[in-house]
Every structure is written in structure tokens, then in C-alpha cells.
Amino acid sequence: MKAKIGLEIHEQLMTRRKLCCDCPTNYRDVPPNTNICPVCTGMPGAKPAPPNERAVDAVIEIALMLGCKVVTGETIYIQRKHYDYPDLPSGYQRTSLPIAVNGELDGVRIREVHLEEDPGKYDPALGIVDYNRSGIPLVEIVTEPDMHSAEAVRKFLRTLMKVLEYSEKVRPEPGTMRVDANISLEGGRRVEIKNINSVKGVYRAIKFEELRQKSLLRRGKTVKRETRAFLESQMITVPMRMKEIAEDYRHIPDPDIFPLVIDRKRVESIKSKMHEPPHLRQKRLVEEFGIEQSLASVMVSERKLADLFERVGRKVDPRFTALWFKDRLKKVLNYMGLRASDLKVSPEQMEKLLQMVKRKELTPEQGELVLRELVKNPMDPEKLTRRM
């Protein structure tokens, strides 16, 4: 029984202002219900501003990094998607028609990319709502059902998160991703598991759901088309209560918001400035520097590491550089709890150090000790070794 799995992934965009009002988006740093106004709390008669241009640009850039075709020269309506839940005071969530379509990542087709608004945060146990999050722009990425196992989903999501991280357009703090996973088995109907907020959660939810559906089908029963929730604490999925699911969202274009029209020049300008996505960069490093896939994959694991590799690898032997980065630099960074982006060492200093190791003026172990010092206190490695 082969599984078919498709995902809808939501991430918060890193804009300073919300989508249709001027409220700030730093909702984690402020007391509940302080970053709010009549627009983002859905007061009757409130007049939303046109969608935040930076959010639109961010969605375009992310879509381009995913190889999508941006919809240009056409009216893209911002729709109202209706449902009733305490986190949604207006009774509808704003969600755009596709801004881009037909991309591909890791062998998975990307069906479309949208712009959406986050709802507030409801705590059902306490009955309290915090609207600080309400109106924060989200990107929604919808895949085709091209994945066939929980493992494949996990791999795809990790690759996708790396692309989003490279774009620098989504919030860096963990736990902002929300995924709806759709899964069907041959001979069964599709089940949607809503609102899972980690890669691990998605993996476990799919594992559970695969087993549940398999055992139903084996016993000659049917799999119902339904929406389920994943209970992280028990690692099971359960049917969602009916009132939590809108059977009919009654999509209509939001009459308060002028629709988007994206012109080709805007897309070209974003394309010319955008970051090279990691999966393509990895390919390029293999071709340009002649290093193995596995090494290239370590180099692109962080953008700043890849940047440094490209500078140093051009001067020193690239394979030697890549191996050194993988075995020594990564180790030192891990040990010190740092990321490559925290490094203050200049490419010239790094190059000099690697030349010294390569000429065997330093053993690799000595080189690593020097590197540790350099990370703490960037300076000329030759001067440093004279002192050591």
C-alpha cells in the first residue's frame, strides 16, 4: 500500500509591520494584546491598508527560490476565508490567490505559494486570546502529493527549511512553522492532519496515520475523508471536533483590499538580488570546485559557511578546504556553541591558517588549536603562532 503525502506549510515572514496595518510584529517581546489596532482585531468598519509590499516581495523571493513561476500581469485577489474560532475576531482569514505556481524542490512539485495572515493565539484551557500575532504575514507553500513516506517528508521539510533560512525572509526563531499534512493510501480517502508545528511532529503524525489507515484497510474497513489533529503528547492523531473545521470556507475576494498585480519588472529585480538557494548552490559547488556532494552539502548547511568556503577554496585547494571546514571548523564552532555567522575571522586569516597547515608548518591538531584562538580573537595566524 503506497502512501501519497502532500503538505501545506506556513511560516511567518520577517517584516517589521503586519500585513494590513502598521502594528509591529515583535509579538514575543511584548505583553499580550499590546501590538493591536482596530484592523488586526477585526473591528467593524476598520479600514485595512493595502498589503505590506515587503511581505509581497518576500513571498515572491521565496517562490523564486523554489523554482516557481510568479503570476504576473494578472489580478491576484486577497480572499476572505471564513471560519469561526476565538483566535479570529473578524470571522475570516485573509489569504491571497496563488502568487506563484509550479515549482520544484527535492523532487517534490510545489503547486503554489500564497500570502496569508496569521490568526491570534487562543489558549482553550484558559479561554484567553492574545491578538498580537493576528495579522502577521505568512507564506503558505502547497506541494503536490509527491512524497511517499514519513522519511521523505522529513527530508523535504529539512531541505525546505534550509531554503527559507537562506532567504532571510522568515523568522529565525524555531517553532513558527505550521504544517498541514495530507495523506492517503491506495484504496483509501485522503486525511488531513492540521497544524503540526515541528518536523518531528510531522514525521510522527504521518507514521501514526499510515499505520492507522493501513490497519483499517487491511481489515476491509474504509478510511474516511476527514480532518484530524496530532496530539504531540500521545503521538496519535484524533478526529478534530466539527466546530474546529470549516466545511465551507466561503472564499470571497476581500472588498476592502485592492487586489495585487505583480509586474514582470518587479520579479526581475527581486530575481537579480535574491540569494542563491542552497540546493542549487550545492550543485554549483560540486561543478565549480570539484568537491563531492557530501562535502558540498556540509558547506551549504549554513550560508556564511558556504560564503567563507567560496572565498578560501579559491585560494587554497578546495577539497582540502572543504575537508578542513567539515572536520575542524564545524567541530570548533559546535564546541563553542557558535554558528558560522558568528565568525569574525576574515577569509584572509582563514586562508593563511589553511596554507600553514597545508605546508605542514602546523599539524592539523595544532591548526585546530590556532583556529580556536582565532575564533575568540581574530588576528593574523602567523603572529598568533609565534606567540603560542
Q: Which residues bind ligand ADP (CB under 6 A)?
A: 4-8, 142-145, 182-184, 190
Q: What's the sign of the alpha-carbon dihedral 34, 40, 41, 47? A: positive
Q: What angle do CA 194, 195, 197 make, to 5 degrees?
A: 140
Distance, CA of 208 to CA of 206 (rounded, Å): 5
Total binding residues toward Zn ion, as defined by CB under 5 A: 5
Q: How far is the CB of 33 from Zn ion (least distance, A)?
A: 11
Q: Which is nearer to ligand ADP, 77 or 258 (CB)?
A: 77
Q: Which is nearer to ligand ADP, 81 or 358 (CB)?
A: 81
Q: Which does 260 bind (CB under 5 to 8 A by kind): Zn ion, ligand ADP, none?
A: none
Q: Which does 311 bind (CB under 5 to 8 A by kind): ligand ADP, Zn ion, none?
A: none
CB 82 within 8 A of CB 246: yes
Contact map string, positions 40 to 69, toward Zn ion, x by CB under 5 A: x-----------------------------
Distance, CA of 332 to CA of 207 (rounded, Å): 36
Q: Which grid coordinates are listed for 18?
A: 503586519
Q: Give residue for cell 529539512.
A: 158
Q: How far is the CB of 248 from ligand ADP (least distance, A)?
A: 11
Q: Which is nearer to ligand ADP, 68 or 267 (CB)?
A: 68
CA Rg value for the chain = 24
Q: How far is the CB of 59 from Zn ion (least distance, A)?
A: 20
Contacts with Zn ion in 16-45 (CB under 5 A)?
21, 23, 37, 39-40
Q: Give residue for cell 523535504.
A: 156
Point out the residue whose Cβ comes nearest to ligand ADP: 6
Distance, CA of 56 to CA of 321 (rounded, Å): 39
Q: Which amino acid is at 291?
A: I
Q: How far is the CB of 168 from ligand ADP (least distance, A)?
A: 26
Distance, CA of 34 to CA of 256 (rounded, Å): 24
Q: How far is the CB of 50 from Zn ion (least distance, A)?
A: 14
Quote the distance between the C-alpha of residue 213 and its chain's center.
Answer: 29
Q: Which is nearer to Zn ion, 23 or 113 (CB)?
A: 23
At 276, give phi and psi (nearest 5°).
-70, 125
Q: How far is the CB of 120 from Zn ion (least distance, A)?
A: 11
Q: Which is nearer to ligand ADP, 25 or 143 (CB)?
A: 143
Q: Which is nearer to Zn ion, 24 or 378 (CB)?
A: 24
Q: Which does 381 bind (CB under 5 to 8 A by kind): Zn ion, ligand ADP, none?
A: none
Q: Which does 23 bind (CB under 5 to 8 A by kind): ligand ADP, Zn ion, none?
A: Zn ion
Q: How far is the CB of 231 from ligand ADP (least distance, A)?
A: 21
Q: At what angle do helices 364-376 and 347-358 cross, to 10 degrees?
A: 160
Q: Which is nearer to ligand ADP, 129 or 153 (CB)?
A: 153
| CA-based nearest residue to 190, from 384, 8, 358, 374 | 8
Residue 326 is given by DSSP the state: I
Q: Is 378 helix (H, G, I), strand (E, B) or coil?
A: coil
In the complex, the residues that contact Zn ion under the rule CB under 5 A are: 21, 23, 37, 39-40
